[in-house]
Structure 1
Amino acid sequence: MNNLAQVHQLNPYAIQLCATGRWIAQRHWVPATGGNFSIRSSAQSCLVTASGKDKGELSPADLLQVDFDEISFSCQGKPSAETALHCALYRHYPDAKAVLHTHSVQATVFSRLISQPQYCFDGYEMQKAIQGIQSHQQALLLPVLDNTQDMAALAAKVTQLAGTQTLPYAFLVRGHGLYVWGDSLEQCKRHLEAWEFLIACELERIKICGLV
C-alpha cells in the first residue's frame, strides 16, 4: 500500500464515503461496478471512487485524490469516467461536500420514458426531504439530460444548467442514472434516498395512469 492509500485508510471522510457506498449497493442501485461517489477533501479537490470497483466492497484505498481543475490524480488506479461531472458540481457549488451517482433500475427506466428536458414532481410529502422544499405543493423540477460519452460536454451542460436555474440537488442522465449532491454526506444520502423514492413512486403512477 502506498503512502497516499495509507492516509486514505485513516481519513474519516473516506471511511464515511465507503460506508455510504455499501449502503447504496445493498439497495441494488449500483450493479456491475456501476455508479461513482465522491467527497470533497479540500477547496480544490475531492476523493472519488476508482473505476471498475464493486461499490459494495469499497475501502478507502479505492478512492483517488482528484484536483478539480486539472482532473489529475496521484495514486494507482483510474478515476471513474464521470469524474468531470463531480468536479463541475464542486466548482459550481462551493458548499457541496459529496456527490453520489447511481444506476438504479427505476431511475434508469424513468429517464428513458421522459422526453422533455425536465420533469415536474408535485404532491408528494417526500419532496420535503430535498433541501429548500417546504411543502408537497411546491413544484420540484428534475432536469433530464441526454447521455453522451463526452464527459467534458456533459459537464459543461451541467454547469450551464446550474448557472441558469436552481437545481434540486439532482439531475438524471437519460438511460444512464441519477446524480445527487449535498452540503454534507448525510444530506447527500438523504437526497439520494428521497429522489429514488420519488422516481419509484412516479414510475408506478405512470404504469397505472400513463404519462400526463
Structure 2
Amino acid sequence: MFALTCSLSASALAQEGGRGVLPPEATPPSMDDLDAPTTEVEPPGGPAPAITPQDGDSASDLDRLFQELADAPDARSAIPVVARIQRIWMTSGSATVDLLMRRSALAIKGQQLGLALDLADMVVRFAPDYAEGYNRRATIHYLNGDFGAAIKDIERVLALEPRHWGAMSGLGIILRRLDREDEALVTFQEVLRLNPHAQNARKAVEALDKKAEGQGI
C-alpha cells in the first residue's frame, strides 16, 4: 500500500515540475541533506572490477538481512547489516557500470554535476534494471534542484527495489522541502519501518511530529 501511495504522490509531484519550486531564500540542496554516502569515491586505478558480494551475499539474502536489521538492538550493531544490504544494492555485475558509478561519485564530490549526470545517464542506459543507477541519478537531479526529475527516478528505484530506504528518504526530503509535511512524515515513518536505525529519518519524524503538535521545529 505504501509503495502505491508513494508512487501516486511522486507522479503528481513530478507532473508539477521540478525547478523553481523553492523560494529564492531557501537553502540550496546539498549532500548534507542525504543519509546515504555516494559510495566509493577513490579514483579508479585502471578498469574497475565489478563490486562483488561478501560472504556469499546475494539478492536472495535480502529478506534475511532486513530481518537482521529489524532485530539489531542498536545503531552500532546495525552498521555491518546496513553495509551488506547496500553492497548487494550496489552490485551491478558489470565492470563498465561499476566504473561509471565510481566516476559519477567522483564528479559529485568535485561538484561537477553536469559530468555526474552524463555518467549516470550512461549507467541507466547500460543497466536499465539496476536500481542504484536511478538512485544515483535521482541524487544528482536533487542536487541540481530538479525535483521533478529526481522524483521520476525515485519512482523507478522503488519499482525495482521497494525497500530502498535511501531513495525513500530522498522522496521524504523533497516532500518536506515542498511543505508537503504530512506526506513527508508518512514517508519517513516507512523508512524507519525498513531501517529502524536511519538517524536522519528519525530526526525528521521527531521534528515533523513536533510541528504537527504545534510545538514548532
TM exceeds 0.5?
Answer: no
Select the structure that is richer in helix: 2
Select the structure that is richer in strand: 1
Question: TM-score normalised to the size of structure 2?
Answer: 0.32
